[in-house]
Structure 1
Amino acid sequence: MKLSKLALVAALACAMHGGSVFGQEWTNSNISLASCCEPSCDDGCDSGCDSGCDSHGGFGLGLGDCSLGDCLSCGDCCIGDPYEVFGDCYGWHVGGWGQLGYHSSDAGNRFNDDADGIRLQQAWLYAEKAVDGSCGFDIGGRADFMYGIDGPDTQAFGPNDDSWDQDWDNGGSYGWAMPQLYVEAAYGDLSVKAGHFYTIIGYEVVGAPDNFFYSHAYTMYNNEPFTHTGFLASYAASEDLTVFAGYTFGWDSGFEDNGDNFLGGFSLGLTEDISFTYATTVGRFGTNYNGMGVVEDGYMHSMVLDVALSENLQWVSQFDLIDTERASDGASIREGAAFVNYLIYGINDCTSVGVRHEYFHRNASLADAADVDVNDLTFGVNHRLNANVIVRPELRWDWDENGAFGANENNRAAQTTFGVDAIVTF
């Protein structure tokens, strides 16, 4: 989840820079594994973890005098430190990433809807000054600017469909977006954010480095906001509990009145290996749902459970519930639930494998002519070539039990999609 990644992802050496405010980037091992200092590699890697197996030969494959199996089991793939073009300047950190992707089939009702070609998904630049209230009052903020295929999906949607960055398209499937522009103040354990910022709802996010999979769940695209404009407070009530509360101008809105929402929730560490995050938004979601001039009222809840099943196996389970209606007459707009599960296994610091299964349901309503029952099953690999480059191939199956939602452009009931992308951070 956008929030729960704080508890989910243990920061590793050589982690990529950038990403969402609430999330941390996926490294290829969620929990630091053993290194080539371990006894199983002593014969060939006893010079220490800093030099790694490559210092013993192996033609740059990390083998040296170790076998491939030894070095994989040790977990030290010697990726080095990340390179930064800008770095820090007067307390501000400037960075970004570029993402190129390919997928074999057009998607329906989710990201990645331009198939059979290598596309620039995201060219992203951000500047951030993180706040720290531990020593008194502090002020900072963040600005994000992006271009690519994902740009039009990430833009804000105002009452007249011309809000903030929505008309920053340049033809075809490409466009610009500014998903964040906010100031943040902190004092002690309390911080308050004001402006345009990522939502705290849901597990997957727009920023590519913050997700394990290249493709996205239907839940993220159809039942959750991407951004908000307004105010959000965060209070660390204890070492294990953080509480969030705020007011926003609806879902995916710019700096115009396009709704009135309470946005809040909490993140709770139940044990050292288990955390739970709850987030909700209640009120007026927007004044022009799906371009129909419809005011949408309602609520939605998102719950995420993170469990470290073992030293290198992570399970994430998410449940979403949404119920909205047309303000004028109470007619249902979106009513349904979604259940998404992820299993991520870290082979070593360079490579991890994962599987995601999603069941997405919505009742017949203004949004859907008939009941929607969609499943997707995705298998993926993350491989880090070095500290700045990660490659994510995946194979995905989608099946629509009644054909009402449309898994693709031809409204087929099922489809298989191969996808792969590469992300370069700087």
Structure 2
Amino acid sequence: MKLSKIAMLAAIACASYANSMSASANETFQLVGHCEEAGCDCSEPVCGCEDACDAMCDDGCDSMCGSGLGLGLLDHNCCIGEPWSLFGDHCGWSAGGWVQMGYHSRANALFNSRPDEFQLHQAWLYAEKAIDTSCGFDIGGRIDYVYGTDGPDTQAFGTGTGWDNGWDNGNDYGSAIPQLYMEAGYGDLSVKVGHFYTIIGWEVVTAPDNFFYSHAYTMYNSEPFTHTGALFTYTPSDDVTVYGGYTLGWDSGFDDNGDSFLGGISLALTDNVSLTYATVAGRFGDSVGAGSGERGYMHSIVADVALSDNLQYIFQNDILSTEDAAGATVRETYGINQYLIYTVNDCLAYGGRFEWYDQEGVFDSEGEVTSLTAGLNYKPHANVLVRPEVRWDWDNTAGVDAGLEDGDDQTTFGIDTIFLF
């Protein structure tokens, strides 16, 4: 079911945590400050005054960066250098990927459904030509391939017979092609045509773009992962981005699974606050059976607030309301997710997530589920990300079966490592 915000490999590997909607202000603090001491007026996060500051900034860190081993756990100094790329960029094309391996102690009926095993979640490869419309018209595209225990969850399973829906290997492992699209643009307007990630929500399928190892109930049960169709993006200014398009329902391949509108708007309200509204409405899928296709409306509102140079707060609200062809309720869900992320430096960030999820039609009975997750992101190298976490889940209503392995409540320890290339 997911998007938004796919970055190229260099941007992913340089981030101190995955899937932030804003770049780390701490990098500006470390690098630009020393460049200004050298007599430069630097306005870019990576120094911006190359001639006078090359000696300080050749490796992406200054002379005050400490040990140089990427071990800045207790202070604000960290040196992880530049990320290594297996393929690099050639004539506008880039290719790369990552390998995500992890362990978690309990299952929760979300992505992490294979407990007490060391497993391969994502062996990911992509090739992309990102468009550049600064000089006029350009055309590009992207293809992604994934194998692992996350593979079956990212297949085009909307109709039950999607193009990669049968690419399973045993009970939990499988392959998928979660993206395959062409993109064209001119000036401030662009369009994707094909199979692509959704723009709904804050958490995404791609592991390096999330802060946490585990996922939210809202993301997994109330949001699409992918769409097939056409999506226009219009950026009239640096502060406004507008989306609109037509898709074949939710999580479908190149077959008729529905008719839905996908759209939204993203606003930079201030230098420290951004707000994104995204919605999908129409016929979501026909996989349940003839004439019983799910249809309705859902939206996601995400507010991203930089409370300080190091502290980021994200608030998300999702509402989903669907029914079948006869008018009976299929799913009614309401979710609130809150994230608080403190970035110490390029090597280390701490985070917390609290979710309240009220649902009808997702689990066996109507009721509420809450979840609290605490974790950290540690980068010992520019191409390596380690994400340990502890998660607490509670069924708040008697009779609700949210798929918790331990019953009504449970504590789960999880840790994964992502190797980017």
TM-score by length of 1: 0.86
Where 1:268 maps in the other structure, the secondary structure is strand
- Which letter maps to 2:81? G
Contact kept? 1:53, 1:62, Cα under 8 Å = no
Confirm or deny: 8 A CA contact 1:318 1:341 kept in the other structure: yes
- Cα distance per residue 1:142-191 (max 9 Å; x no partner): 000000000001101243x1211100001121000000000000011000
Of the candidates 358, 370, 384, which is equivalent to residue 361 of structure 1?
A: 358
**Matching of residue 347 in structure 1 with residue 352 in structure 2:** no
Aligned to 2:308: 310
Pair 1:104-2:105 in alignment: yes
Paired position in structure 2 for 1:91: 92
> Which stretches of structure 1, 4 residues or longer, exceed 4 Å deviation after superposition?
11-15, 23-29, 36-39, 47-63
Offset of residue 331 of structure 1: 0.4
Normalising by structure 2, we get a TM-score of: 0.87
Equivalence for 2:373: 378
The correspondence of residues 404-423 of structure 1 with structure 2, limited to 5 A, is 404-408=399-403, 410=405, 412-423=407-418
- Look up the match of 2:41: none
Match of 1:32, SS?
A: helix
- The equivalences for 1:221-240 within 5 A come to 221-240=220-239
State how far apart, in whole Å, the 2-side matches of 1:292 and 1:113 are: 30
The change in CA–CA distance for 1:229 and 1:27 in structure 2 (over 3 A counts) is closer
Kindly state the Cα deviation for residue 118 of structure 1 after the two structures are TM-superposed: 0.6
Query: How many Å separate the matches in 1 of 2:166 and 2:251?
Result: 14
Q: 1:244-270, CA deviations, whole angstroms, 9 ceiling, x for partnerless residues?
A: 000000000000000000000010010
Match in the other structure for 2:13 = 16
Aligned length: 398
Change (3 A) 1:59 1:324: closer
- Counterpart code for 2:129: K
- AA of the residue aligned to 1:357: F
- Cα offset, 1:57, TM superposition: 8.3
Quote the offset at 1:405 in angstroms: 4.2
Does the 8 Å contact 2:393/2:409 carry over to 1? yes
State the distance in 2 between where 1:119 and 1:194 align: 34
Deviation, 1:288, is 1.3
Measured after TM superposition, the shift of residue 362 of structure 1 is 1.1
What's the RMSD between the two structures over aligned residues?
2.9
Partner of 2:49: none
Residue 297 of structure 2 corresponds to which residue in structure 1? 299
After TM superposition, list the pairs within 5 Å mapping 1:61-72 onto structure 2: 69=74, 72=75
Residue 190 of structure 2 aligns with which residue?
191
Amino acid at match of 2:414: G
Helix, strand or coil at the partner of 1:305 = strand
How far residue 113 of structure 1 moved from its aligned partner, in angstroms, is: 0.1
Mark the CA change 1:79 to 1:137 in structure 2 (over 3 Å): closer, same or farther: same
Q: CA deviation at 1:12?
A: 12
Which runs of no fewer than 5 residues in structure 2 stay unpaired? 38-54
Report what 1:168 is aligned to. Answer: 167
Give 1:20-419 correspondences, 5 Å limit.
Answer: 25-26=19-20, 30-33=24-27, 34-35=29-30, 48=56, 50=58, 60=69, 69=74, 72-73=75-76, 76-108=77-109, 110-159=110-159, 161-289=160-288, 294-327=292-325, 329-363=326-360, 365=361, 367-408=362-403, 410=405, 412-419=407-414
